[in-house]
Amino acid sequence: MSTNPNTVKSQDDLPTTNDGKRSSDVVLSAVEKCERLQKQLDIAVKAIKAVLHDEFILEHADAGLVMYLTQAEYKIKELNK
C-alpha cells in the first residue's frame, strides 16, 4: 500500500500564509467575519423595514431620511439577488 505524499494528517501539515497563520485558520476567520457581517446586515435590514413601515415615523420624519432609508433598502435587496 502506497501513501500519498499530499495527505494531510494534522493541521501542522497545512501550509502557512505570509503572516504565519495556517490556511485553514485564515478561512475559518473569514467565515466567522462573514457570519458576523450577516448578523449585522440582518439587524440593519430589520431596522430599515421597521422605520419604513411605521406610519407615525413616516408622517413625522424628514423626507430626506425616508428617501435615504428607502434607497438603502433597495440597494440591499439588489445585492441579495
| Interatomic CA distance for residues 62 and 57, integer angstroms | 9
Which residues constitute the domain of residue 79?
A: 42-81
Interval 7-24 mean pLDDT: 63
pTM of the model: 0.60
| Interatomic CA distance for residues 26 and 37, integer angstroms | 16
What's residue 63's pLDDT?
86
Residue 52 lies in a domain: yes
What's residue 24's pLDDT?
81
Q: Does residue 11 register a pLDDT over 70? A: no
DSSP string, 34-54: HHHHHHHHHHHHHHHHHHHT-
Residue 73 lies in a domain: yes
Residue 69 lies in a domain: yes
Residue 54 lies in a domain: yes
Residue 28 lies in a domain: no
| Interatomic CA distance for residues 46 and 52, integer angstroms | 10
pLDDT per residue as tens digits for the range 32-80? 999 999 999 999 999 999 988 888 888 888 888 889 999 999 999 898 8
What's residue 75's pLDDT?
92
Check if the beta carbon of residue 14 is closer than 8 Å to that of residue 23.
Answer: yes
Residue 25 lies in a domain: no
How many folded domains does the chain comprise? 1
